[in-house]
Chain A
Amino acid sequence: MSTGAIGRSGTRTGARAAGATRAGTRAGAHGHGALTPWMFMAPYLLLFMIFVVIPAVYGLWISLHNWDQFLTDKPWVGLQNYVDLFTPGGAKATPFWNAMLATGIFTVLSVPLLVVLPLFVAMLLNKRFPGRTFFRAVVFAPYVLGVVVVGLLFRFILDPSVGVLNYVLGQLGLPADTPWTTAEPWVWVSLVGMTVWWTLGFNAIIYLAGLQDINRELYDAAAVDGAKRWARFRHVTLPGLRPVLVFVVTVTILASANVFGQAYITSQGAPAERTRTAIMFIAEEGFLDFQLGSAAAMSYILALFLMALSAGVFFFFRERGERS
């Protein structure tokens, strides 16, 4: 019904503007001119072509060469850049898969926290209590900081020898020599912790919007049926949040997999290359070591991983949706 209304008004505008061409009126019988949707999408498609499609195809082309942007000779190497990445023990493969592993570890550790914690924060902030708006602002506040600010801030706090945290721990009589940024597993605690502190507010706000969308009558009905707190959460809140949950999980996974700034500034990939993430390694390879060919190949492998992961997330949530 509503699509029809939009179609009619679209035709009317089109007819007025184009002086009612024959093609326009004929197509008008079906709802709109053949070109109309394309015209609406043109500005976006143009930008999408210039900034996504063309660079993506060009990147594929680059990945098939030994590409140094400052050399005129950029020899074709076929799939060699990809082969190098899958040669066990190779000089390219080892650091690349270490970087992928670092990204994987970070994602596995941070995503559950960033999906679950903000939900509880959002449920707290959804209650009525004095100062609620203030606390909502406080929770969201860190998110407005840039990654450089957050990174440097935590570097000052977490430095193992001269940082604030170890000093305070020492004053409290606790061990004061924890290597927060220079040794595993502490460095992961640091990176995940600072990321949760930084981005928790964003997910919490999304959840909050989702919670406010759930009809209160459903809770009342559940209460009438004798549902306790957990049952209300399990059977009303969670199903009500499902679309929001899909969004949060997908976006959080992608953001975590693209982690760069935190590790780059706070731990600088240390210890050794254990926290050097995929994006960090790709940037070094391409722009500092002038190996754009293999950097492009790495980007494609990372992109394939992320596409598969996102597809998996959608599939997972669709399954559950059908069952309930």
Chain B
Amino acid sequence: MGGLSRREFLAAGAATCAALWLPGCGSGGDADELTFWNGFTGGDAPTMLAILDGFHKEHPGTNVRMVSARWEDYYQKVPAAIAAGKGPDVGIMHVDQISINAAHRVLRPLDDVAQSLSLQQADFAPEVWQAGVYQGKRYGIPLDVHPLGLFWNKTVLSDAGLDADRAPADREAYESALDELKAKGVQGNWVSTFFFTGGLMFQSLLWQFGGDLTNEDGSRATWNSDAGVQAMEYLRGMIKKGYSPTNVAQDADNVAFKGGETAYIWQGAWGIADYGSTEGIEWGLAPLPQIGDKRAAWSNSHQFIIPQGISDAKLEQARALIDFVTNSPSWAEAGMVLARKSAREQEAFRKLPAAALAEEISYVRFPRSVAGLADVRESTLDLAIQQALSGRQPVRQALDDSVSRANELLADNREKFSV
């Protein structure tokens, strides 16, 4: 569940969240305790706790206490807690949330931490490493990358007489597989009109066709470029050609995939944990097929953050924790692709399903580090995708309208965060 946004989760059941959060409420932590907050509430929580056990063995002097809340709660409460001086000593944030929190001045710059751990770009990958920087300062140390990958349901493919052990890597192979499935009466790859996973598909294709969400400095939205139109037309074509039903609702694509109604799904790496714990489904995982002119895949990344106002002693402990966890290959058991090369190169990682997505690391893409961009995108592009894919608006018009709205909101944000 690592890649879901706040809004996505709210819908899943806000009522249970408060209860989960209570143990962490109001605790600045005891003097001898390092509090570590994150949103790992699924199968990823035990994995992280096991890593922390290892850390305790190596650093008997440090006692880490992990507190987890669902992400959507987390992003509302953590800034408030830090601002009130009751935040954690160290935490995890998605990379697209770092800019807004840095702009809200609740995060401590980590350039010195990275330097003292002698971490640099070469230890990660340029895109991942740069994504944690906001306005020239580093605020995040990458733990993992969870890019979009192509999952396939082996049973559905072999029932349709297709090779169940290989994934189509290019447009031709992908479309011919979808055609064969169609001939057998299977709509091979459902296209959701929601951010999960339609929005993720659109962004990946936008980048594949050579476009981008914004210009270089993030001051203007650019998804109405020719590349954007091509990307959207491609998705709409998948629906028109019958590879997907129309009006696929939130999560229905995932349910259909697990239920064997469809063969492929473009899903985030968190699908590994989801499908891995689903009874009776045999699946494979490969990098996204190349549809456009170059390879690219939407991705998100969990990064370590440290709140403002941490004491020197705690900072020392937090640094050791960050070093240890980012170097642990077993984090990939939670379905994540490890960000640090030294962790990725270990044998323990290569055996895990997430390793199938490791080659994507060289071409994963993130939105630019602009405060509030994620929220602007949610209220503009995500709606345009629904309009265009449902056919209520022509592709070009939906994109143009959303871009002009986004530019206005981006200008507002720029003014707000410039002081």
Contact = CB atoms under 8 A, between A and B. Distances in A.
Given A161-B248, A177-B245, A272 B387 contact: yes
Contact of B194 (A71, A94, A268, A290): A268
Could you say which interface size class chain A belongs to?
A: 35 or more
Contacts of B261: 161-162
A105 interface: no
B405 interface: yes
Nearest to B390: A271
Interface stretch (B4-12, B139-147, B222-230, B360-368): B4-12
A90 B411 CA distance: 13
B416 A160 contact: no
B74 to A, nearest CB: 13
Contact of A152 (B10, B13, B193, B412): B13
A220 interface: no
A161 B15 contact: no
A162 B246 contact: no
A162 B245 contact: no
Interface in A68-105: 68-71, 73, 75, 90-91, 94-95
A229 B249 CA distance: 48
B419 A73 contact: yes
A264 interface: yes
A130 B250 CA distance: 45
Nearest to A152: B13
Main secondary structure of the interface of B (DSSP, over half): helix
B383 interface: yes
B79 interface: yes
Contacts, number: 102
Given A162-B256, A271-B386, A148 B14 contact: yes
Interface string B31-65: 00000000000000000000000000000000000
Given A70-B79, A91-B405, A160 B249 contact: yes
Given A73-B419, A271-B392, A288 B387 contact: no
Contact of A270 (B194, B256, B379): B194
Contacts of A70: 79-80, 83, 104-106
Nearest to A148: B15
B242 to A, nearest CB: 12
Main secondary structure of the interface of A (DSSP, over half): loop
A183 B247 contact: yes
Given A66-B416, A271-B386, A181 B249 contact: yes
Contact of A268 (B11, B245, B246, B409): B11
B36 to A, nearest CB: 22
A183 B11 contact: no
Interface in A272-318: 272-273, 284, 287-290
B185 interface: no
Interface of A: 66, 68-71, 73, 75, 90-91, 94-95, 146, 148, 152, 159-162, 177, 179, 181-183, 264-265, 268, 270-273, 284, 287-290
Interface of B: 6-7, 10-11, 13-15, 76, 79-80, 83, 100, 104-106, 190, 193-194, 245-250, 252, 255-256, 259, 261, 372, 375, 378-379, 383-384, 386-387, 390, 392, 405-406, 408-409, 412, 416-417, 419
* The 6 A-B residue pairs with the shortest CB-CB distance in the complex, in nearest-first order: A91-B408, A70-B104, A179-B247, A182-B247, A272-B386, A289-B375
